């Protein structure tokens, strides 16, 4: 069902500092910050030859990333994102297999303007999984 690794997301306290470290120390191409109010995050992407890194900074109150940073004060890996061809078919197949979908169960539009869903970390080795329809 899943295809390519689309990105690995890292929660950060300071998006500018994270961007600078990847741009200036690691020599990576880093995009401008974009607000994603629906997801409670401000996002920067690092474009690598074979995948992307997504930096997430909390945006607004009740940001899920703010809670994550309380538990991980230095930041850390927040989720992995896999590509799927049909997100509704993937969701229905996962639900039938007993996996929990986070939130309403309906896809939201993600950082690339494509539909995304999140799967509960307890069902996937303690790691939050994002599915993105490509
Ligand atoms: Co993501």
What pLDDT, on the 0 to 100 scale, is given for residue 110? 86
Q: Which residues surround ligand 1, an ion (CB under 5 A)?
A: 9, 54, 81, 130
What pLDDT, on the 0 to 100 scale, is given for residue 47? 97
Total structural domains in the chain? 1
Q: How far is the CA of 7 from the centre of ligand 1 (A)?
A: 7
For residue 83, what is the enclosing H or E element? strand 76-84
Q: Is the pLDDT assigned to residue 7 strictly greater than 90? A: yes
**61 — pLDDT class (breaks 50, 70, 90):** confident
**Burial call 86-100: b when 16+ CB within 10 Å, e when fewer:** ebeebbeebeeeebe
Q: How far is the CA of 81 from the centre of ligand 1 (A)?
A: 6
- Percent of the residues in the chain that have a pLDDT greater than 70, as a whole number: 100
Q: What is the mean pLDDT of residues 7-14?
A: 98
Which residue is catalytic, options 54, 57, 130, 132?
A: 130
| Global pTM value | 0.93
Q: Is the pLDDT assigned to residue 117 strictly greater than 90? A: yes
- Owning domain of residue 87: 5-133
Q: Does residue 83 have an active-site annotation?
A: no
Q: How far is the CA of 5 from the centre of ligand 1 (A)?
A: 11
The CATH number of whichever domain residue 94 belongs to comes to 3.10.180.10
Q: What is the mean pLDDT of residues 24-53?
A: 96
Q: What is the mean pLDDT of residues 61-71?
A: 92
């Amino acid at each position: 069902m899943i295809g390519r690794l689309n990105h690995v997301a890292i929660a950060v306290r300071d998006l500018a500092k994270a961007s600078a470290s990847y741009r200036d120390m690691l020599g990576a191409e880093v995009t401008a910050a974009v607000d994603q109010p629906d997801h409670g995050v401000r996002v920067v992407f690092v474009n690598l030859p074979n995948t992307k890194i997504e930096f997430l900074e909390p945006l607004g109150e009740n940001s899920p990333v703010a809670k994550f940073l309380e538990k991980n004060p230095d930041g850390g890996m927040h989720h992995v994102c896999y590509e799927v061809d049909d997100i509704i078919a993937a969701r229905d197949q996962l639900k039938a297999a007993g996996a929990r979908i986070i939130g309403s169960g309906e896809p939201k539009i993600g950082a690339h303007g494509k539909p995304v869903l999140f799967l509960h970390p307890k069902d996937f080795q303690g790691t939050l999984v994002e599915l993105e329809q490509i």
